[in-house]
Amino acid sequence: MKLQRKKTALASAFALSLGLSAPVLAGADEIVVEDAWSRASIGTNRPGAAYMTIRNTGNEAVTVTGIRTDLAEMPEIHQTSTNEQGVSSMGPAGNIEIAPGASVALEPGGLHAMLMRLQRPMTKGESFALTLIFADGEEMSVEVPIYGIAARGPEN
């Protein structure tokens, strides 16, 4: 069964690189990742970020417990928040539970994949693999295209 899941993940990564939605099994639930994207970086001195929507079309909740990529030494899912004085801050979000039929958006100004200690620059026109890690031990690899430094979404 693991081999089948790996084949599904590879097919999903290919579909995502073409801008298509891609279902992947994570345990007994179906996960769909849509609109994965990131911005180009200025070198490697500043962190990068990746964004996407993760949908759970299954009948049971799933939990994302982490992420992994060879692009960054410290990839984490972060949450941006603003206090009463209007000051924004961000930090690790911890586990992300996705209820059946629900979705979670990783987007600028909210939850996002923070890519700290970049190992190479994020260059427009390239892409990188980002692995979502689930509480049940399953993993899903997503191919994330890199757009221009001022991109505001996958359409840029």
Report pLDDT digits (tens) over 35-87. Answer: 999 999 998 999 999 999 999 999 999 999 999 999 999 999 999 887 888 78
| CATH code of the region 2-145 | 2.60.40.1890
Domain residue extents for the chain? 2-145
CA 132/CA 70 separation, integer angstroms: 13
Structure-token pair, residue 51: 């964004």
As a 3-state breakdown, the chain gives helix, strand, coil percent values, each rounded to 5, of 10, 50, 40
CA 49/CA 78 separation, integer angstroms: 10
Would you give the distance in Å from CA 89 to the centre of its chain? 20
Is residue 115 helix, strand or coil? Answer: strand
Spatial contact of 146 and 124, defined as CB atoms under 8 Å apart: yes
Q: Which residue has the tokens 């031990």?
A: 137
Position 156 confidence tier, pLDDT thresholds 50, 70, 90 = low
| Dihedral, 133, 139, 145, 147 alpha carbons, nearest 10 | -10
pTM of the model: 0.79
- Higher-confidence residue of 29 and 107: namely 107
In the chain, pLDDT over 90 holds for what percent of residues? 65
